[in-house]
A and B are shown apart, each in its own frame.
Chain A
Amino acid sequence: MTIQFHDETFRDDYTFHNSPEGIRRFPFPFDADSYMYSVNLEPHAGGKAGSPFEKRFDVDEHYVAEMRDRAITLTEDPLRCQSLPHMELAGWDFLELVMVSKSEDYPELFTLNRDGDRWHWINRPLGIEQRFTFLDATTLPCGPMEYITRQTQGDHALLDQRDGNLWMDAGMVTSQADWSLDFDIGMNFFEWHAPVPKAHEMGVFQRALKFLLNLQQGAPVRRLNWTMTVNPRLDTSPENYHKWGPEKRTVAADNVGAKQYLRVELQTLWRLPRSNAIAFPIRCYLCSLEDIVTVPKWGRRLHRVLRDLPNELAEYKGFAVNRPTIVDYLAAFDDGAPTSPGIFPD
C-alpha cells in the first residue's frame, strides 16, 4: 500500500487530520474499561497487518509533516536535541538500527546500500540522499543521533546502562507530553520518573528497571502510554507551556469533539549492540474525540476510563480541568453495552 503523506500542521492553524484508515489503525491504548499504571511490556515482534505494531519503526501518513514540525521546533530551540559526549557510539548504533529496519520494512521508501563502512542512504519521502562513512561523524551534516531522528517519527532517548541503572544521556525530544530533555538529561531511571504520582509506591519503576537492565539485543519490547492534548500539537513542551497553556482553556461543549485529542505513545525499547545502551523511541499518535467515537467500542470504553480515572492521574496528565466537558461529550456515545477485550475495533 502506498502511503499518502499529508501536507498538514501541528501548530498555528492545526490542519492535522487522520484519514479514515488512519483512525482505524490508531493505537487505542485501553484493553479494558478501566485504567491503572502497569509495566505492560510485551515483545515488539510485529503485530496485526496495517497496525502501528507491524513494523519496527512505523511510518504513517503524518511522517513528512511531523519531520517538518520537528525541524521548526529545533530551529527555535536547539536544546531539544542533546547528547552527552560519551553517547556518540549509541547514536551510531541507533542510526544503524533505524536505517536497516526502515530499508527492509519499507523498501519503496528507504534504501540503504552498504559497502564496508561506506554507506549510502536514500530517504525518498523527505528527498534525502546521503553518502557517509559509518562511525565517522565528520561525514554527516550533524551527529548520528540527530541525523537519524530528524528522519524518524517520535521522540527518542538513548539510555546509558551503568551502576545497575539507566541514565538518560542523549535524546531528541520535540513531541513530548510536557517533560524537558534539557532538564532531565543525565538523570537516572528513578529521577526522570520522579514526578509520576502513585507508580513509585506501586513498585512499577523498580520492576520495569529490573526488566530493562536485562533487555537483550534482537528482542525489543513495547508498551503504550497515553495522555490528553488540546489541539493536535506535538510540541507540548514545558519550555513553551506559557505559549500553548492558554489553548487548554478553550475547550467547551460545542468544540470538545474536534479540539480534544487522545494522545498515545507507542514506546519501544531496543538494546544497542556496540554501546550496550538502550534506545527508547516514544512515538506519538493523536486522534480527536470525534474521530475516536467513530469506532463504537472505543467511544464506550474511553468514556468509562476517563469517567472513573483517579483524580490524581487526571491532574498529572493535565486534563483534570477539562474532564467534565470530555466525559459529558463521551457519555452520549456510551449506551452501556459490554465491550470486547483487547484494543482493536470490533
Chain B
Amino acid sequence: MPRTEFSPSITSRPVYPGLTPQGATPAIMLAEGPGAEAILDLAALDASVMDLAHLIYIPAGHDAGPRLAALGAKMYREAPSYASALERYRKALADARMGTTLYLAGSEGMIGQAVAEALAAGLPPEAIQTEHRGTIARRMQCVHCKGVTENVTTDPFVCSHCGLTLFVRDHFSRRLGAFQGVCVDAETPGIVPAVQEIKP
C-alpha cells in the first residue's frame, strides 16, 4: 500500500511528509499495519537507520512482522494494539536522548496519538517524522462530550460516547491527537445530511 496523498486543507490539518533516513542515530520507530512498508522503504534507502533503532510494530491485520524483524533493529517488538504498546513507547520517549529521531508510520489515529505523546514528553517537533499508510479513518473528538471516537470513516458519524450525530471537521489538535466533531443537526434537530465515506 503506497503513501497516502491527501487533498489540500486548512493549516491545522496534519500533513505527513514521509520518512527520510537520518543515518545511524538513536531512533524510535512505531509502525502500524501497512506502515510497516514505510519502515521497509526507509531501511532500503539506508540500512544503518536500524542500527540504533527501537522498532515497535502493531500488525493490525497486516502480516509484515517477519520482514520487519529481519531488518536488524537494535530492539524489535510486536504489540497487538496501540494501547498495549503505549507504556513501552512512553518509556522509550522518556529514555530518549538529544538527537533521537522518531519515525511514525501508519494510520492518522495512531500517528496523532503518538505525536501527542512525543510532544508531551518534550521531543522537539523537528525530531518527529511521519508517513501515512493504510486506512484514512480518523480519530475524532466530540466537542460536546469530549469523548474520542476511533476509526471514523463516515461523515457524519455518531459519537460513540454521547450519541450526537457529528460532522467531521479538518480542524485538528496536536495536543489531543484528534480531529474535531461538531453536532451536525444542532440547528435543526433530526435533520441529518446523507452519510458519505470520508475522502483523503
Contact = CB atoms under 8 A, between A and B. Distances in A.
B187 A194 contact: no
Interface string B159-187: 00000100001110111100010110011
Contacts of B141: 183
Contacts of A239: 143-144
Given A246-B186, A249-B187, A193 B175 contact: no
A187 B174 contact: yes
Given A183-B143, A187-B12, A248 B187 contact: yes
B143 A180 contact: yes
Contacts of B13: 194
Nearest to B171: A195
A242 B171 contact: no
A246 B173 contact: no
A242 B186 contact: yes
Nearest to A240: B144
B11 A194 contact: yes
A182 interface: yes
A191 interface: yes
Interface in B1-55: 10-13
B12 A194 contact: yes
A43 to B, nearest CB: 29
A190 interface: yes
A316 B144 CA distance: 20
Nearest to B9: A194
Given A241-B182, A248-B187, A249-B187, A183 B11 contact: no
A114 interface: no
A249 B146 CA distance: 26
Contacts of B180: 180, 183, 238
B20 to A, nearest CB: 21
B196 interface: no
Nearest to A182: B146
Nearest to B141: A183
A241 B144 contact: yes
Contacts of B164: 242
B23 to A, nearest CB: 25
A66 to B, nearest CB: 24
Contacts, number: 66
Nearest to B125: A163
A242 B183 contact: yes
A245 interface: yes
Interface string A174-201: 0000001011111100111111000010
B171 A194 contact: yes
A246 B171 CA distance: 23
A277 B103 CA distance: 32
Nearest to A200: B11
A184 B173 contact: yes
Contact of B12 (A79, A182, A191): A191
Given A183-B143, A184-B173, A245 B183 contact: yes
Contacts of B171: 183, 194-195
A169 to B, nearest CB: 10
Given A185-B175, A239-B143, A190 B186 contact: no
A186 B187 contact: no
B173 A183 contact: yes
B175 A186 contact: yes
A246 B176 contact: no
Interface of B: 10-13, 141, 143-144, 146, 164, 169-171, 173-176, 180, 182-183, 186-189
Given A187-B173, A192-B12, A246-B189, 20 more contacts: A79-B146, A180-B180, A183-B176, A184-B173, A185-B175, A186-B175, A190-B12, A193-B11, A194-B12, A194-B13, A238-B143, A238-B182, A239-B144, A241-B182, A242-B144, A242-B183, A246-B188, A249-B187, A249-B188, A321-B187
